[in-house]
Chains A and B, each alone.
Chain A
Amino acid sequence: MIVADKKPIEEIIEEIKDFKKILILGCNECVTVCEAGGKKEVGILASALRMYFLNEGKDVDIDERTLERQCDHEYLEEIRDIIDGYDAVVSLACGVGVQFTAEKYFEIPVLPGVNTCFLGATEKRGVWTERCQACGQCILAFTGGICPVSRCAKRILNGPCGGSSKGKCEINKELDCAWQLIVDRLKALNRLEDYEKLFSIKDWSHDRAGGPRKVEREDVQL
């Protein structure tokens, strides 16, 4: 999932201080799972902001709404009838949701309520770690199911580098060396011969190096 983290409330207050009618818009997908922008977080933020503006003596209306997703037209259409009643929207969705909402409702400022961090997994409640950088050409089949692009600080394809020590990475003693993990897993899978194969230069044009990307599939288009 896309992992996001809460923005400090002071930053959100700064974003919205000049508006009178504000919609806090949550998303039921990834940000709900990582407890940053779901219905509950929308409620907490809205309640806190209402109290803040009341205390400041400012007449600001703050409403709450959470959509199934903010990255699909059909769900975003659900607020079309009410959107004109607001001066601004604080979206607690990931950066995709914020932008898609902004594109759809061009005249209304849509402000981010979370910091979008990475594509990751829930290690345990309250701990999320990165697993994928969406490089566009998956090589997990050859690396024992462990991704050196997202988990190696240097993104090297023929590792480990000299900074690997006792299975940890030189940038952080708590960070596992991705290539150590790869070797360990290949050993467990009895496929160490995969480690012998050298990766040729990766075509990074499928990554961000090729500019903003697009997936177009005629087979599923209407």
Chain B
Amino acid sequence: MRLKYPTSIKIVRVPCTGKVDILHILRAFEKGADGVYAVGRMEGDCHYNSGNFRARKRVEQAAELLDKVGVGGERVRMYNLSSGEGPKFAEYAVEMYELIKQLGPNPIKKSKAKKEAA
């Protein structure tokens, strides 16, 4: 298909989105990621039954925490698609890319740079 999606997106492969923890999401932001999104199977199609539901919950909890610490919960999202939906994968990547571009860089990066300069 040779589909294109933004090069700034780094893929972290996990056996199931159920493996994704709040901690992984927070650490990504702490290290300077501008946004994080989890892409799981369609709801009800998880090979481990409930992995993608767990991921969704954790994404929601991470968003809540990110809101409270001033990073912004809108920078984290959960998407669902099936393994046959390559075009949708690329479409979601573009959607996330556009969203982050609109939100601007992760404020942590600026604060970190300021701290290091001081």
B21 within 8 Å of A (CB atoms): yes
Residues A44 and B69 in contact, CB atoms below 8 Å apart = no
List of A residues within 8 angstroms of B29 by Cβ: 51
Closest CB in chain A relative to B86 CB, distance in Å:
33
Number of A-B contacts (CB under 8 A): 48
Q: How far is the CA of A52 from the CA of B107 in the complex (A)?
A: 10
Q: Could you say which interface size class chain A belongs to?
A: 10 to 19
A48 to B22, CA, bound (A): 10
Chain A residue nearest in CB terms to B30: A47
Q: Mark B8-42, 1 if CB is under 8 A from A, else 0.
A: 00000000000001110011011000000000000
A44 pairs with B115, CB closer than 8 A? no
Q: Which of B26, B27, B66 has the most CB of A within 10 A?
A: B26
Report Cα–Cα, A9/B68, bound state, in Å: 8
Instruction: Write out, one digit per residue, whether chain A residues 33-76 have a CB within 8 A of any chain B CB (1) or not (0).
Output: 00000001001100111111011110100000000000000000
Query: Could you say which of B65, B114, B118 contacts A48, with CB atoms under 8 Å apart?
Result: B65
**A43 contacts B111, C-beta separation under 8 Å:** no
Query: Measuring CB to CB, which residues of chain A are less than 8 angstroms from any residue of chain B?
Result: 9-10, 40, 43-44, 47-52, 54-57, 59
11 more contacts with CB within 8 A, not counting A48-B68, A54-B108, are A43-B23, A43-B27, A44-B26, A44-B65, A48-B65, A51-B108, A52-B70, A54-B112, A55-B69, A55-B111, A57-B114
